């Protein structure tokens, strides 16, 4: 989780990713940010996030994104 938080904070240092739960709904993350995050996650965790998983529910919070990474690692 710490590694993920570091990735997110590098992209948006001004956001408190540990508490924010509406990153996409509140338009804090846009499509360019999401791709930057996916690219970082793919390099850091060695998981590929497919396009069908790019939905607000998976990117609204650091916790949701971490759960997605864990699920993809398990599959």
Partner 1 sequence: MLFTSYGFVAFASALLAAYYLVPRRWQWPLLLAASYGFYALADWRYLFFLLVTTVSAYLMAVRLEDIAGEQKRYLQTHPALTREEKRACKAGFKARKWRWLLACLLLNMGILAVTKYTNFVIHNVNALLHGAAHLQTVDILVPMGISFYTFQTMGYVIDVYRGKQAAERNLFRLALFVSFFPQMVQGPISRYGDLSRTLYCGHPFDGKAVTFGLTRVLWGYFKKVVIADRIITGVTSLIQHTDAYTGAYVFVAMLFYAFELYCDFTGGIDITIGLAEAMGIRVAENFHLPYFSKNIKEYWNRWHITMGTWFTDYIFYPVSVCRPMLKLSKWSREHLGQAMGKRVPVYLSCFVVWLTTGVWHGAAWNFIMWGLMNFAVIMASQELEPLYSRFHARFPVRGKAPYEAFQIIRTFLLMSCVRMFDCYRDVPLTFRMVGTMFTRFRFSVFTDGSLLKIGLSGADYAVLLAGFAVVLGVSLFQARYGSVRQALYARPRAVSYGAMALLLVAILIFGAYGVGYDSTQFIYNQF
Q: Does 36 bind partner 1 (CB under 8 A)?
A: yes
Could you tell me which of 17, 20, 54, 22 has the C-alpha nearest to residue 35?
54
CA distance 40 to 75: 20
Q: Return the residue of 9, 15, 28, 40 that touches partner 1, per CB under 8 A.
A: 40
DSSP 17: T
Q: Does 35 bind partner 1 (CB under 8 A)?
A: yes
Please identify, using beta-carbon distances, which residue of 29 and 62 lies nearer to partner 1.
29
CA distance 36 to 57: 18
Q: Return the residue of 1, 22, 48, 67 that touches partner 1, per CB under 8 A.
A: 48
Please identify, using beta-carbon distances, which residue of 2 and 27 lies nearer to partner 1.
27
């Amino acid at each position: 989780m710490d590694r993920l938080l570091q990735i997110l904070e590098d992209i948006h240092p001004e956001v408190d990713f540990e508490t924010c739960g509406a990153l996409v709904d509140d338009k804090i993350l846009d499509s360019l940010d999401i791709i930057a995050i996916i690219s970082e996650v793919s390099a850091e965790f060695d998981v590929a996030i497919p396009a069908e998983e790019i939905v607000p529910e998976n990117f609204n919070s650091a916790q949701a994104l971490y759960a997605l990474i864990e699920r993809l690692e398990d599959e």
